[in-house]
Structure formats: C-alpha cells, structure tokens
Structure 1
Amino acid sequence: MLKSKVLVIIFYSLGFFFSEGFAQASEKNIPNEVQDFNFDWEFSLRNPADSSKTANVDNWKPVKLPHDWSVEASFDSIKGEGATGYLPGGIGWYKKEFSTDIGKDEKAYIYFDGNYNNAEVWLNGTKLGFHPYGYTPHYYDITDYLNSASENEIMVKVDRTRYADSRWYTGSGIYRNVSLITTNKLHVPIWGTFITTPEITDKEAIVNAQIQIKNDFQRRKEFKLITEVLDADGKIKGKATSTKRIAPESEITLNQEIIVNNPQLWDIESPYLYIAVTSIIEDNKLIGQYETRFGIRQFKFDADKGFFLNGKNLKIKGVNLHHDAGLVGAAVPEGVWERRLKILKEAGVNAIRTAHNPASKEFLHLCDEMGFLVQEEFFDEWDNPKDKRFNQKERSVDYITRGYGEHFQEWARRDLRATILRDRNHPSIFQWSIGNEIEWTYPRYRNASGYFNMNWQGNYFWELPPITPQQIKERFDESEEGKYVLAETAKKLSKWTKELDTTRPVTANLILPSVSHLTGYADALDVVGYSYRRVLYDYGHENYPDKPIMGTENLPQWHEWKAVLERPFISGTFLWTGIDYMGEANGNWPVKGTLSGLLDFAGFKKPSYHMMKSLWSEEPHIYIATQTNDKSIFKWDGATNQVVEKKPGAWEHALWFWHDVNEHWDYKVNDSIIVEVYSNLEELELLLNGQSLGVKKLSQFPDHIYKWAVPYEKGEITGKGLKNGKTIWKSLVTPTQAYAIKLTTENDTLQANAYDVSHVVAQIVDKAGNPIKTKEQNIEFSVEGEAKVLGVDNGSGTNVQDYQSNSLKTNQGKALLLLQATKEPSVITVTAKAGSLKTEPLKIISQ
C-alpha cells in the first residue's frame, strides 16, 4: 500500500449496517425483522461453586439489558483489585423466556454485541456455543433449536471469576445490546454488505457494493438484487440491478457499481451519510431488504506531509477512550456517550482511539454522525499475557489475572474478523490497530532497547536511545527468540486484516519503536504509532523516512502538541486520555482509576480540557485557574517581576496529570494567589474588581499559560481580550454563603423508550447563583414520575461511594444524577435536599 512514501486510501465510503444489516420489519413491512431483545431478562449472581442453570428461583431478579453487575456493587479495597477499579467479578446467569413465529422458509439468529466475558449460551437446553472475548460481537443460528409455536428459554452464563483479567475496568455481564434476527432462507447474512467508493471526484463518486447472498434452501434459487443509494433526504441518487442464480445451500458474493453525481463528502465538520438499500426480489416479490449506511470520503497518510482528508491537510487531534463511563460502568446508554463526545468535540477533538479493544456498535454509530475519525483497536495482548497490575514483564501469575492471552492462539482470527466485518462500513473508522504496547510482553524488545538493563542514568521519556540502531539490532539478534516471535504475529494479524479490508491502514501502538523498526514489527504496519515517544519523532523520520508516523498515546500537555505542530510529517496524536476511567489504580486507594482525562468520571470538564481547547479549537476561549502560592507550581520572581516556574523548564516534561489548580476565587484576604489563564487569544488583560492588573501577550509564555500573581481580595477576577474585534471575557466571583441547590439538565425532554437519558447536575450556589466550590455537602435526590435512577456521581477520582444510590457527597459543590426514561410517558420531577439549602424542582417531560 505504500508508494513514494505516501499511504493513500482513495476509497472511502463506509457505512453502518443497520440492525446487523436488516431493516426493521415494522418500518418496511417485509419478512426480515430485528427484534430488540434487551427486555424481560432475569439475572442471578452466583457463588463460583454453583454451576447450576436452574438454582433457587429466589436468586433471580428482573433486568433490562445492557447490564453490568459489577458497577452495581460497592467498591472494595480488600477484596477488589485496583487494576479493574476495586469492583468485583463473579459468575452471572441470565435467562429469558420468549415466543417467536418462524415460518418454514425463515431463519432465526440470536446476536450479542458484547458479553464480558467467557460467555456460554444455551437455547432450550442445547448449548449453542462459548465466546471468551468480551469485546467482540457474536451470534448463533437458532433456527433448529426453537420450539415451534411455543415458549423458548435462552440462558447465558458469564464467568468473570478472573476479576483482575485486564488492566482497566471491564464490567461484567451482557453489557451490550442483544437482538433476535429473523430472515428468509435466501438472504444477506449478518455483516454481509461492504460499501466502498474507489473513485471520487467533485462531479461523481463510484460506489461499489459488495454483497453476500446465502441460500439455505435445498433447491436452486433465481433472484433479482437491486441496490439503491439514498441521500440524507431519502432521494435516490443511483441504482444497480443484478439477476442471478444460486445453487442450493451455498453462498455467493455479488459486486454492483453505482454512480453518485455531485457527491457530498463525509468530513469531520460535515459528516454526510448516505444509505444503500439492497432488495432481494424473487418471483416479483420482495423477500428481503437491507440498509447499509456509509459516507463518501478519501484520505491518505504521507510520510513527509502528514494526514490528508478529502484532499486537505489535517492534524489528528485525538483522544484515547476506554469503554466505561463512570456510574454506568460498561453498560453505557447511547445518550451518555453522546453527551461525552459532544463535550470533547467542543474542545476541538476530531479523533478517537478505542483503547484497547473494539467499541460497541452504538459508539461507532455516534462517531459516524458526529464527525469523529476512529482508530479501532483489536487487542491489548497477543501470544504472551500482560501483568494486569503492571505494564511491563510478568511479575505475578495467579488465577484472577489470566485474561485474553489464554485464548489468543485459538480465537484471535475469529475475533479480528468479527470486528472488521461488523465495522468496515463505518465512515468514521480510518485505521485498524492490531495491538497496544505489545513489546512489553516479549522480553527481547525491552532488553534490546538499552533503556532498562544497562548502567544508563538517562530518562526514557525525554532522551534518545542510549545505544545506536546497530547496537540495538545486535542485542536483539543475540537474544533468545522465545516460543512466539512478535514480528511474525504482527504480520499474521496484518494479513488477516487486509484479507477483509484493504481500504484502511494497519497500525499499532509501539512503546519501543527504536527496537520495533529494526525487528520486522513495523514492517507489518502501514502507519507506525508511537506511545509516549515524541522524543523519537525526528529519530524515526530520519532513520525510517518511508514510514508515516504519528502519536497514538501521548500526554495531555502543551509540549506534546507543540511537538506535533512543529513537524509536518507527524499526522497527529491521541492523548491519554479523553475521559478518566476506572482501573490501573493498584496501591492508590481510594483512587479508583486513572485521572489523566480531559473530563472526569462524571463527564465534567477538567483544567486540562480547557488547555487543549485553547490549542485545538478556533472558538475564542478563556479559562481562569487559581492556586495559593505555596501549592502552585509557579512563584512570583521579584527580580524579573514575573511569575515563573518553581522548577524551571518543568512544563516541557509534564506527564499524565495536570497540576493542582482551582476553578474559584475564594481564599483568605491577602493570600498570595497565582492566577493562570488558558486561552487562544493572543493578548489578554486581567482585572480584579474592575482594576486592571496588566495586559500580557501569549507569546510571552513558552508554556502557553498566562500568569499573574495577585494578592487576594473578595470580588470578581476577570480575563478579557479581543477576537476579530469582539470582546471576550470570563470571570470568577467570590460567593457568599451557601443558599440553594441549583438543578440543571441539558435534556429536559425524553423519549419514553426505556433508553433515553437525562443528566441532572446539582450545584451548590449562593443567593446570587454563584457556584460554591470550596464546601462539600451530602445531597439526596428525590425523583417522582416514570424514570429509572441509574445512579449518582460527583466526578472525583477518590469517590468510592456507591454509584447505585440517590445520595452522595458533592465534589467542588457539584453532583450528577443520571435518569433513564421508562416506556411510560410521564412528567418527571427531580428535587434535591442538603440540610437547609433551598431547591427548585426540575421538570423533565418523558413522552
């Protein structure tokens, strides 16, 4: 795929296969049907010694899927593991009774988008199969196991007794959506369409529809296949028709070409989507219809000039995201992801890396609609396991930490194929990542690097390799090969990927690229991702000039983005991370997770969010942060009359976590306060109670932070500047005593569909409505009307109060209540109580 140092993806229309590729029967009035199979389940959490499928009926409780049982429990520093967020695992059983009317010419499938993990499925007492990987979709043909015209029972066992089997919070249970799919025996199988656009100009785009047809009849069939491309308004923009015969019990692949005139391109700013509607006609009768959503776009990676989308050079402003979302754990409602992605988008984020596993179908659906580029990652470990408590070589071997490495040899190809087949129609996906920091699990790489087993006194993060490439290669070649060879596994995974999709580059996140470039690992990749190795950008480009390079795991700091801006050949970066996540917290109790996010566990903005917004967004932005002189990383220097770093140059080596600052103006009189302002305005004035404290230019501050030293006095501190002739300002106001709890929500109208959610934010305020962020109180929420309380959170990394509650202590005077609609229309009334504080009820309409 590489030619003249340019990786070109000239295709790009990829879409979303609605409802696993089947249109809703209720909408289309055709035989195909995808039934929402999330309702009316029962759940039982068992003792690991209890393998019975029936057990005492009292042990069962009703649940609606998706469901994560771990997040319903209490955090436990003794029985829990920090690697997975101090929440328990166990064995969970699910069962559901249902009836379905399957005709003699029809097929039925049960589809799971994700079960964490080691899932076994039975239907009417017959075992359908076992699926170990918690992040990949899987389905079963259940046609021959259904009871005709009577009740059926499906049972699922999820075994997460290995509750520290990962390095982050995984959740437990059937945590993604489930569907019951019925179709004609002559049909497009699940994930059976692949839409590409191999040629795109301003005047037209060639749309190629690759469509599988399966005939499960015992006789030959003749049919007509019609594919129509519809625009966003439902107007037909092109059409192709094929007439074919298919042998009994066989499968064929058809290719149809359609011309779309004056195509509208999918882009991060205007993510335009088309739908390909494919119809199967037999004897002039419609027997099946399938919708594939796709976008038309093209891109390339140039080893010298970076990344281009639709012909425009674009820096990738990405973040890494794990799959949990605070109080809902891994069973994340679509509305929760929508809110979080919207906030990230407002900061200028244009790309997501799904660290370190395939995402849900709904997550990718949102990325298509909202205009995010997505690097979808397959695996965190390959042939050899990772120590779940540490990132490097294995230091402990015990039952609870055994993870996917136990199944990789047998299941890797199946899981990779399932991910690509399900997701290759998403226009958002622009890279497949075959692995994350895999080098840690092969001792040869660590030992050959020269960083870790020599008498070297340097710093791995900020310094070049202490030995030459030739010495690295010699050390590697002299080392013992081991049972598995990393480069060979990488080539195998890359080959499997390209068997299914050659339209996207294969990449991986390399933690030791100085070794990986020399040993064949990087040869398996089209784009090489560097993990925390921005110090090697020039080294990599000079030594391996034909390989496109980008940052795939980097620090949420100005120095990381500066390194990208200064190098046209670096396509962009993915910051670690976009949002705080549970896990990787060993030995830090009560810290329950990793706090490197731009947003906290509740989806509230952190100071680093505002710094990155000032770097990544064109929208004028001012954010004021404050800290006492003794706690600040800065100080007043009388000799220069400037605020300077206490440790000169420290900003160039800042790591994952933002330094300690406050978002308030509430201190003791005459306290010496360091005021920091994060802004993209070139010039800024700071005022205290209307009096100017001086005008400064951003160019004065190499660390991109405006700074003043201010003796504290009550009142209002304001940052003010101009952008395109318009005055932009932001203030912090000293509050008086706590007076009320202010309730707000961004979504005061819900669909009564048992899925839609509303985030209710409670903030303690004074009588004038100013937020109080220095005093905490316990808040108790009351909810009247038809709504389910999903839980509460305050965003703090040390909050280990139960999520499944209606009360908690605030953080910075703030708390979050998450509500979900039921199927019953209602007026929902939310109130909050905290001592004598007043509150106005919040009304939410569910309809």
Structure 2
Amino acid sequence: MRERLSMDKDWQFHLGDAVLLNDNSHDAVYGNAKAGGSRGAASIEWNDNEWETVQLPHDWSYKQPFDRENGVADFGYNTRGMGWYRKKFKLDPADNGKQLLLEFDGIATHATVYFNGSILERNFCGYTSFVIDVTDRAYFGDRPNLLVVKVDATVSEGWWYEGAGIYRHVWLTKKAPVHIADRGVWVNPIKQSNAKWLTNVETTIKNESEEIAAYQLISRIEDANGEIVAEQRTEGSSEAGKSVVVKQDLPIEHPVLWDVDDPTLYKLHSIVTINGQEVDSVVTNYGYRTIRICPDTGFYLNERPLKIKGTCNHQDHAGVGVALPDGIQEYRIGRLKEMGSNAYRCAHHNPTPELLDACDRLGMLVMDENRNFDSSREGLLQLENMVTRDRNHPSVVFYSLFNEEPLQGTPIGRKMVKRMMRAVRKLDSTRPILGAMNGGVMEDEGTVDVTDIAGFNYMNGGYDKFKEKHPNQPIIGSETVSSFATRSNYISDTEQQVFESYDREKASWGNTVRESWKAINTRDFVMGTFVWTGFDYRGEPTPYEWPSVSTHFGILDTCGFAKDPYYLYQAFWLDEPVLHIVAHWNWRGKEGQTVKVMTHTNCDEVALYLNDVFVDRQTIDIYEQHEWDVVYEPGTLKMEGYKDGQLVKVSEITTTDEAHTLRIETQKPFLLGDGRDAMAVNIYAVDAEGRFVPTNQSKVSFSMNGSGQILGVGNGNPNCHEPDNAMERSLFNGCCQLIVQSKVGQEDIELTVQGEGLQSVSYVIPVNAAEEMPFVPSISERYINNWLVTQEPTAERPDPNVTIHPTDMNSWEKVDVSFGALQMLRGVNGYVIYRNRIPMSAQEKSSNPYIWFHSISGDIEIYIDGKLHLKKFIPWSVDLEVPLQGVELDDQVTISVLIGIKPDMYSHGINGSVSIRMK
C-alpha cells in the first residue's frame, strides 16, 4: 500500500558553500566521475556533525541581518548566498521492490539534488514543485541513504523577497510496483443539464514490475457528508514498464456546487487492485462548478455573474520569511475573505500546494501564475508542472502565462504564447488563459488577442479604447491600484518614510483605491480586479529604499493587521453595512488643531459627532467618500451610518489613556499537538480600561512553556530592522505578532508577554491531542562506507600498511561494505586488507571518538595511521566498537584493517556499515 511520509524533520544545514580541500589526485578525479562517487558535502563521508539542525520549511535569508552594503533593495536587504542541506535516513528492507519518490514542493532558487552520491536532479525554478524517482538508487536495512540538496540562492528570478532554501515541504512516497502514477488522477466534472453531471476521470496506471499485470481500477466518489454517490470499476492490463490511461465517466445528479460562499468539496477515491487485493489508492479533492467569461458582462461562476474582487500577493509573511507553516496560509486567506475578497492572484509564481488547499476549503478563486515567460523545453516543463499539479483544484479558475514581459506586444511574444497555450490546453482545456500586461495591448501582432482574456496591469484609461478595438475580448484588471498607506498613520512623512491613510498616496503608474474600483465597477465588461497588493511584502520597498525593507502597497501589513484601506474594500465588496472612521483620536498635545477624518462606508449618509455634539451630516458617494477637518479635543468621535434613512451602523474612536498592559488574540482557539499546526498570535497595547492604544511603540518580550515554540515575530513596520527570529519585538502603532507552532505533545502552551513599563500578561493556548504526521526520521552518525579492498586475497600475511599507488584502480577495488560480505571472499583461506582515509574534525578528535563496525568477523588487526591499534579474533560476525581515545589523530586518518579469513566462515571481513561516533 501507498505511504506518504514527511521528510521535513531534522536536516543538517550549512550556510555558505561547503568547501572541499583541493584534491586533484587521480583517485579523487576518477572516483568523482563514477555513479555514487560525488565528493565533498554530497558524499556519505562528509562530516556534518557541526552543521545546524533545522526543520522544514526553512528560509535562511530572513534570519540574516539587514545589510545596506551587500543586500539588494528589491530583496529587502537580506543577503541570500548558498546553502547545503543533508539528511541521512534508513529504509526498511520491506520497502525493497517498491517505487520510491521524493517530492520537493519548492526550493529557492537553483537546486542540485544528490542521492547516495549521485546528482539525480537539477531544478531551475524556485516556485516549481518537482519529483525524483530514487527507486533504483535506494539502500535498505542498515545502510543509510543520504539526501543532499545544494541551494544556490545567488540566482534570482524575481524583483521581490524570494527567500532562500528548502522553504516548502519535502515528501517520500512509497508505492507498489503497479500503482497510480504521480499526478496521475485528473478529475474534470462536466455539466450535462441542470441536474446531471458527468465526472470525467483520467487515471494513469504504471507498471514498474517485470511482467504484465492485470488490474482493476475502482473510482469512488464521496460527498461532503462521507456518503458514496458514484462508483465505477474498470478491468485492464498493463505491460511491464508501461503506463496506461484509464478514462471513466461517473454520472452524478444534483451535486452541491463549489462556490465562493459555499465551497463544497467532494473526494474521489482511486483504488487499484490485483487479484482482489488493494495495491494502491489515491484520494483527490475536487469540486463541481462551472466558469464562463463573457466579453460584455464578465465572469460567471455557476452561471451567476460575479465581479472578481481579488488581490495580488507574494508568499512571505512576517516572522517566517517564505517558510510559512500551513496554518499561516489559512490565516492569510481568511483575512482576505473577511475583507470581502473572492479571488487571489499568485504573483508572480505558482504557490505552495497548501495555499491552494486553503483556497479550496475557504472559497477563494485563484489566478495561478507561471513564473517564467519561456517556450523553451525548460520553460514548457515548468508550465506543464504547474498545470498537472494544480488542475484538480476547483479554486483555480485562470492560468496566467506571464507578467509585464517586454515581448508581450511583439510577434515573438505572440509565437511564444501560442506554443505555451498549446502546452496548457493539452493538459487542461477548462480554464481561460491570460497574460498580465502593462503595455502592448493595442498591438496587432502581440499576445493580447491570442489569449482568452486581456489582462490589464493598471492602464485604467485604456479599457474603453481596447473594448472598441476588440469587442469580443474579455478584460480583467490583472493588477491595479498600487496605492500607499502605513498602518495607523495619518501624516505622510518623507523623512520617516511613512504614508497617510486617506487614499491619496499612490505610485506614479497607479491609482487610488477609489479611482481604480470606480473604473472597474462601472464597466460591466471589465470582469474585475486584482489589487496590488493584499499584504505588504518584503523587498521592493517602493517608493523609498533604505531604511524601508518592505513595501507600502498592502491593504494589510506583513503581519495581516488591517490598514485603513481594508475597510474601504469592505465598503466596496461586502453587502453588510460598513462604517469605519479613518483616523485615531490620540493626538495628545495637539488640542485645538484640526485632524482630518474620513469615512470608509457603504452607507447612504453619515452623521458625525464629537463628544456627543453634532458636527455634520453628509450624503456619501461611495466612490468619493467624505472628509472633515475636525478640531481635536480629547474624548469620543462618533459616526452614525444610515441607509434609506434608517440608522444601520455606529462607529466610535476614543482618546485612550497611556498603555497599561497588553491584549493577546489568537487566530484560532487551539493548536493541534502534532508538531506542525501553527497560528498567528496578535499582541495589542491597551490602557487600563482595555482600550486599544494605536500610538504605543513599546518593546515587548516573550517567554513560553508547554508544547509550543515561537517561530518568529513581526510588527508590520516597513522600516523596522529588528530581527524576526527573536524573543522580543517593538510594537508598531500598538501591534506586533508571534507565529506560534505546536510541538509534539498535549501540554497546553503558556505564553507570557512583558512590555516596557507595561503590566505583564499570560495567556494559555490549549493544545489538543493529535497524531503526529508519519515522517522519515534522520540519523546523525557519520558513515565510512567506501572502502578499498585488495582484489586478490594472499596466502601469506601481507604488509597491512602497504602503499597504494594513486593510479592503481585494479589491484584494489572500491566497495561499499554495507551490502554485506564480499562473495569473492567466500571459501578463501588467506588475507585481505581494507583501507580507508577519513577526515576528522577538531570536535570529533576532542570528543572521545570511536569507530563502530556494524558487522565484522575474522582474524582482525586494525591499524590507525600505520600503528597497530587493536588485534582480535572474531569467529562470527558481530558489531565492534574501536575506541580512539589516547590516539594522536591527524586531520586525515588512515585506517587499515587486515583480516585473516578461513574457508569455513559463513560471513567474513567487514560485512556491514562502519561509522564514526562520539561518546
């Protein structure tokens, strides 16, 4: 049966290149050219005992100090560089004969993957998931497997913070020889009538065995209540080493449709049996829904017109860089849903699979975007990878091929798009395709009229002109707005590099929130918008550079704290009454001065009161809103919102006292004690009456007991240079955030927060019992397995320290002793020599090291650097510890093992793994 195991636990990590001593000898060059012969950090002998132990997902870049001299503004002034990851693990002998796949969800940026000393994959895109088949190269039993990943993050693909390292999950999947192929299930529900649907299923079955296999494929549909609503069985056979695609149509009546307001998911259980015995199964989540685009009236979901209310987003978050726990993906989508957003653009790259899972569950439409505009073999592979991975997600409704490419309006770009579209449609013809264009839309030989939708990045003034020229081409605002705001700030200050929040500040190419939404919402033929951006993100600190290290574009800051535009979008996008006051009322020392106050509301009229004294009442144009200059006096500013003359909403802001303590709010009520679950914990400064103090900037420290850990901290300040991997953080305008992850266990987490001059507060996060996800454990010992052994045994006792000529590849053979006793020595009466030369670190030499022979037998003499160290007769195989205490060890230690063998020995010589251990 299929197993899918997490590979996230306990990797050894080294930041920088793993430097290998220069060795140009024939032996080194010759060995490196052989399968399994990689040297340096990719070899089993490499000493990683002093490397850092890390857990995945892992991003090393955000943990580096901000560096104005060596960092790049677009990358947030965090340096990147190179890094190495190593994981040693064992496989059960029962796994021998199964197909073994390693799946990497994403590595930033260029990655070279070694397995057991050989390069098995090179990946050239930091946003592409990829799979490696290691079936032929795996070891079983005592012999460890070594997985090594060299990450070159000096290479960049974007102009934003991309992180560095294995920043998404890694998995090991074990399958029977006859199985469902990787990404081998494609579910495509087709509506037949109002009541009837056909669930088209294509299942690819692979036969990796050495003989023809007769199978039965069972496809079984389960609804949200766990009821089986359809099933089909198909008999077939597959030749050895071949794949077959099985097509099935499963009818279903009256399915509950997947919708943004009711995201109902179904499960397809795909089961393969041989002779009645189940050998493989896969569960695929999917949904029933229709999408349609009209050049005149826009986007339709389930034949219901739906204005796209979307945001563009990169993938980093405060405190964790791009290494987001799955729970934070859900937090971010949830924050956007609360704003009224119904769509998410993965800008400018396809996302981690867990983000799409969250969008499926929560009801968020997705524009899935390709990173590289490239019709070469590599470019098409990246594009096909995106489609085959993501096409079963009902949330995915658009494929975007590119973003703002110089070739977008040229004949060359046109040819590239055509080829790329053919590649997509070969795999999935159900979603419309577009490119996000910032020009070239009026060019006759460009890309715009080849794609299904014209994607407009900004260019608000071009909608009508384009519609006149291309009346049958649908239009979407693929990227809009680019306005600036700083959370809870109401005075722009160039020196401080902060912006006011009255929807007036914007980039030279952009528009205010109100301008952009009016242009889109008043044109039915523009199907909607993707605002730049939902969240602030690291890097690209437009329009400022240092000391700004993140952007000012976001509707929410990097923590997900709402800026004032969040409530303006709620007024635009929600049906319920919204009334938000744009200002705070803590202007101490400015009594008598005027303060600008603005509405963000969808009410018809708003009345304003200061300390219960009527100030004004105004009719509100939703696209204009309204502003007042109010003379500040401490107290309460109140707005009343009316619809059709009826009071429907009241909002107040009050002058608070000085901050007294802190309030803690969690994303969800508890954590699962599985060691993976995570949540955002928000910290707010409050006065003695519990009122939020939006002007407090106190430094706050944290401590924690129980089954949890703090992964990182943030505060949403685009100019803050405090470290994210710390146990303290300054509040920014009254707020900061912790990312808390559970440890394996069920002990509730007690979080204590202490602020400067503030009363400390403790908070208990309940931890509920949950099974730990099955994972592949790592082993830490260092193995010495590539030994030289004399090709011909000798009847006479040889010199155990005989010199080996550097070019002698014939009288000595390189062997991996973990495979067991050498068959060539069976029945021998004589002597053989085993030889190895191993590096020893200062730490190892000073830590009472010993050599552990996992299995050895014979008349044994062990020499260390030419000196006899141990002499022992072992008649049958045992494990043997050889202490090295008291031995003066060089940095390179030569081990020679002379073994006398008798013909009647069942096992002989070194016939198991050898490792270096420390007491």
- Aligned pairs for 1:29-108 within 5 A: 31-47=1-17, 52-53=41-42, 56-101=47-92, 102-108=94-100
SS at match of 2:441: helix
- Contact 1:265/1:296, CA 8 A, preserved across alignment: yes
Q: Using the alignment, how far apart are the partners of 2:655 and 2:595 within structure 1?
A: 14
Match of 2:480 in 1: 554
Residues 449 and 473 in structure 2, CA contact (< 8 A), matched pair in contact too: no
Instruction: Give matches, 1:156-167, under 5 Å.
Output: 156-162=148-154, 164-167=156-159
Give per-residue Cα distances to partners, 1:681-726, cap 9 Å, x unaligned: 1111111111111221113xx7532222211111111111245856
In the alignment, which residue of structure 2 is the partner of 1:843? 764
Which gives a bigger RCO, structure 1 or 2 (Cα 8 Å, sep 6+)?
Answer: 1
Aligned residue-pair number: 714
The amino acid across from 1:808 in the alignment is R
Aligned to 1:275: 267
Q: Which of 499-508 and 760-769 deviates more?
A: 760-769
Match of 1:13 in 2: none
CA distance in 2, matches of 1:275, 1:497: 25
What is the identity, as a one-letter code, of the residue corresponding to 2:423?
A: W
Quote the Cα distance in structure 2 between the aligned partners of 1:726 and 1:840: 39
Shift of 1:836: 2.8
1:115 equivalent in structure 2: 107
**1:742-768 Cα deviation digits (max 9, x unpaired):** 222233411011121232222222111
Q: Match of 1:495?
A: 422
Matched, 1:566 2:522: yes
Q: Superposed, which structure 2 residues align to 1:380-391 within 5 Å?
A: 381-382=372-373
TM superposition shift of 1:410: 4.3
Instruction: Select which of 107, 110, 127 maps to 2:119.
Output: 127
Does 1:598 find its partner at 2:555?
yes
Q: Structure 2 counterpart of 1:44, which letter?
A: H
Q: Describe how 1:734-749 pairs up with structure 2 within 5 A.
A: 734-749=655-670
The separation in 1 between residues aligned to 2:250 and 2:593, in whole angstroms, is 70
Q: What corresponds to 1:704 in structure 2?
A: 624
Cα gap change, 1:164 to 1:186, in 2 (>3 Å): closer
Partners of 1:670 and 1:274 in 2: CA distance: 62
Q: Percent identity?
A: 29
Distance in 1 separating the partners of 2:680 and 2:429 = 41
What secondary structure does 2:700 align onto? Answer: strand
CA distance in 2, matches of 1:569, 1:729: 36
CA-CA distance at 1:173 after TM superposition: 0.8
> Residue type of the partner of 1:77?
R
- Cα distance in 2 for partners of 1:602, 1:198 equals 40
How far apart are 1:240 and its partner, in Å?
A: 1.1
CA apart distance, 1:159? 3.0
CA distance, structure 2, for counterparts of residue 244 and residue 553 of structure 1: 49
Give the equivalent residue in structure 1 for 2:33: none
2:736 and 2:373 mapped to 1: Cα distance? 40
CA contact (8 A) 1:670 1:712 kept: yes
Q: Is 2:398 the counterpart of 1:431?
A: yes
Matches within 5 A, 1:381-460: 381-382=372-373, 409-439=376-406
Separation in structure 1 between the aligned mates of residue 585 and residue 676 of structure 2, nearest angstrom = 34
Aligned to 2:869: none
Q: Check whether the contact 2:585–2:655 (CA below 8 A) recurs between aligned residues.
A: no
- In structure 2, do the counterparts of structure 1 residues 726 and 254 end up closer, same or farther at CA, with 3 Å as the change threshold? farther
**Paired residue for 1:216?**
208
Report deviation, 1:591.
0.8
Deviations 1:438-467 (A, max 9, x none): 12x67xx5xxxxxxxxxxxxxxxxxxxxxx
Inter-partner Cα distance in structure 2 for 1:612 and 1:582: 23
**Counterpart residue number, 2:641:** 721
Residue 72 of structure 1 deviates from its aligned partner by: 1.6
Based on CA coordinates, which of the two structures has the bigger radius of gyration?
A: 2
Kindly report which structure 2 residues correspond to 1:346-357, keeping only aligned pairs within 5 A, or say none: 346-357=338-349
Taking the aligned partners of 1:348 and 1:835, their CA distance within structure 2 comes to 37
TM-superposed CA distance for 1:49, in Å, is 5.6
Map 1:245-644 → 2, pairs under 5 A? 245-379=237-371, 381-382=372-373, 409-439=376-406, 485-515=412-442, 517-555=443-481, 557-585=513-541, 588-626=545-583
Gap change, CA 1:818 and 1:103, over 3 Å in 2: closer
Q: CA-to-partner distance for each residue in 1:330-358, whole Å, 9 max, x for gaps?
A: 11111112112111101110001100011
CA distance in 2, matches of 1:354, 1:52: 35
1:369 to 1:173, Cα distance in 2 relative to 1, 3 A: same
C-alpha change, 1:567 and 1:820, in structure 2 (3 Å) is: same
**C-alpha separation in 1, matches of 2:17 and 2:203:** 46
Cα distance in 1 for residues equivalent to 2:514 and 2:144? 58
| CA displacement at 1:161 relative to structure 2 | 4.4
Measured after TM superposition, the shift of residue 672 of structure 1 is 1.0
Q: 1:161 to 1:107 in 2, by over 3 A?
A: closer
- The AA in structure 2 aligned to 1:585 is P
- TM-score, with structure 2 as normaliser: 0.75
- Between 583-592 and 209-218, the greater mean CA deviation after superposition: 583-592
Alpha-carbon contact 1:558-1:612 (below 8 Å) kept: no
> 1:194-219: CA deviations, max 9, x gaps?
01112243322111111111111121
- Cα RMSD of the aligned pairs, angstroms, is 1.9
Give the letter for the 2:70 counterpart: K
Offset of 1:56 from its aligned partner? 4.9
Shift of the alpha carbon at 1:520?
A: 3.5
Larger helix proportion of the pair:
1
* 1:323 shift after superposition: 1.3
Deviation at 1:793, TM superposition (A): 0.8
- Distance in 2, matches of 1:41 and 1:625, equals 48
Q: CA contact under 8 A between 1:202 and 1:263: conserved in structure 2?
A: no
For 2:153 and 2:324, how far apart are their aligned partners in 1? 22
Q: Hey, what's the Cα distance between the residues in 2 that align with 1:149 and 1:614?
A: 63
Q: Deviations over 1:396-452 (max 9, x none)?
A: xxxxxxxxxxxx73411111111111110000001111000012x67xx5xxxxxxx
CA distance in 2, matches of 1:779, 1:796: 15
1:801 to 715, 722, 727: 722
**Separation (CA, whole Å) in 1 of partners of 2:88 and 2:670:** 33
Q: TM-score, normalised by structure 1?
A: 0.82
C-alpha offsets along residues 214-245 of structure 1, whole Å, 9 cap, x if unaligned?
11112111111111111011111111111112
Alpha-carbon separation, structure 1, partners of 2:398 and 2:153: 33
Aligned twin of 1:760:
681
In 2, Cα distance between equivalents of 1:605 and 1:496 = 40
C-alpha distance in structure 2 between counterparts of 1:313 and 1:572, whole Å: 11
The gaps in structure 2 that reach 5 residues or longer are: 21-39, 484-512, 769-919
Whether the 8 Å contact between 2:153 and 2:165 is mirrored in structure 1 is no
CA contact (8 A) 1:80 1:86 kept: yes
CA distance in 2, matches of 1:570, 1:103: 55
Offset at 1:737? 2.0
Q: Counterpart of 1:542 in structure 2: which amino acid?
A: E
Corresponding position of 2:832: none
The answer to whether the 8 Å contact 1:665/1:732 transfers is no
Q: Provide closer, same or farther for how the CA distance between residues 108 and 164 of structure 1 changes in structure 2, counting only shifts above 3 A.
A: closer
Amino acid corresponding to residue 632 of structure 2 in structure 1: Y
**Unmatched segments (≥5 aa) in structure 1:** 1-30, 384-407, 446-475, 627-661
Shift of 1:663: 7.1
Equivalent AA in structure 1 for residue 674 of structure 2: N
